[in-house]
Amino acid sequence: MSSEGADDGFLLLIVSSPSGAGKTTLCTRLRKEFPELRFSVSHTTRKPRPTEVDGREYHFVDTQHFEHMVRDNAFAEWARVHGHLYGTSLNEIEIARGSARGILFDIDHQGARQIRAALSEAVCVFILPPSMAELERRLRGRGTEDEQATLRRLQNARGEIEHYGFFDYVIVNDDVDQAYEQLRAIVFAERCRRPRRSGLCERLLAERRGER
């Protein structure tokens, strides 16, 4: 995986959170407002939820298939999360680089660190719940996990929050509209970062020199 740097204008946006804090909710809004940011569809060995479609939320694969991809070096990053395997294929990033203005990752802190190690310009956002009690309410209210999986996700939440220091931005998702405003503000601000504008700056300077 090569890093072309931030001066090509391409945005690598990573959103992570403990399970149930609301990153899928916020990313779904982001995808609607910024369709030019391609959502990275991960591979996972987790079973699909009733509303999930293969190839849309995830590429659902069995462990053998996943391990084969690991051996083939097909992943930009992968990790075991809540007892299942999840990974971002190199192919997802290549497709986005060829067809979009950026890529949006919904991955955990282990994956965020692996992507950042390879692509230092990646922007990492951590979503927090307003309280642990509210996190539990949301996870139980969503009703997608059985009791054992719910408890496991809640137990893992504390360990995940300990990684907050790695992230560039932290958003507390209390009021969802406010949290979303903060997330979209990060996209706008990141697009204005000087390295992402250097192409335009150089073009303007060339124009000034009559080199158009």
Ligand X SMILES: Nc1ncnc2c1ncn2[C@@H]1O[C@H](COP(=O)(O)OP(=O)(O)OP(=O)(O)O)[C@@H](O)[C@H]1O
Ligand Y SMILES: Nc1nc2c(ncn2[C@@H]2O[C@H](COP(=O)(O)O)[C@@H](O)[C@H]2O)c(=O)[nH]1
Beta pairing class for 37-39 and 11-16: unpaired
Contact 75, 81 (CB under 8 A): no
Is residue 23 part of the contact set for ligand X (CB under 6 A)? yes
Beta pairing class for 75-81 and 84-89: antiparallel
Among 10, 11, 13, 19, interactor with ligand Y by CB under 6 A: 19
Burial track 31-60 (b if 16+ CB lie within 10 A, e otherwise): eeebeebbbbbbbbbbeeeeeeeeeebbbb
Is residue 141 part of the contact set for ligand X (CB under 6 A)? yes
Among 70, 117, 151, 176, interactor with ligand X by CB under 6 A: 176
Q: What span, in angstroms and rounded, lies between the C-alpha atoms of 45 and 47?
A: 6
Is residue 102 part of the contact set for ligand Y (CB under 6 A)? no
Residues 149-178, one symbol each (x = binds ligand Y by CB under 6 A, - = not), give: ------------------------------
Closest CB to ligand X among residues 97, 138:
138
Is residue 24 part of the contact set for ligand X (CB under 6 A)? yes
Contact 102, 13 (CB under 8 A): yes
Is residue 81 part of the contact set for ligand X (CB under 6 A)? no
Among 42, 45, 150, 173, interactor with ligand Y by CB under 6 A: 42
Residue list for the binding site for ATP: 17-24
* CB count in 10 Å sphere of residue 138: 16
Residues numbered 55 to 94 that lie near ligand Y (CB under 6 A) are 77, 79, 81-82, 86-88
- Tell me the C-alpha to C-alpha distance, in Å, between residue 122 and each of 43, 168, 171: 20, 10, 17
Contact partner at residue 184 from ligand Y, ligand X, none, CB < 5 to 8 Å by partner kind: none
The angle formed by the CA atoms of residues 111, 55 and 17, to the nearest 5 degrees, is 30
Closest CB to ligand Y among residues 11, 79:
79
The tokens describing 43, both together, are 């591979």
Among 29, 97, 138, 140, interactor with ligand X by CB under 6 A: 138
Footprint of ligand Y (CB under 6 A): 16, 19, 42, 46, 77, 79, 81-82, 86-88, 106-108, 110-111
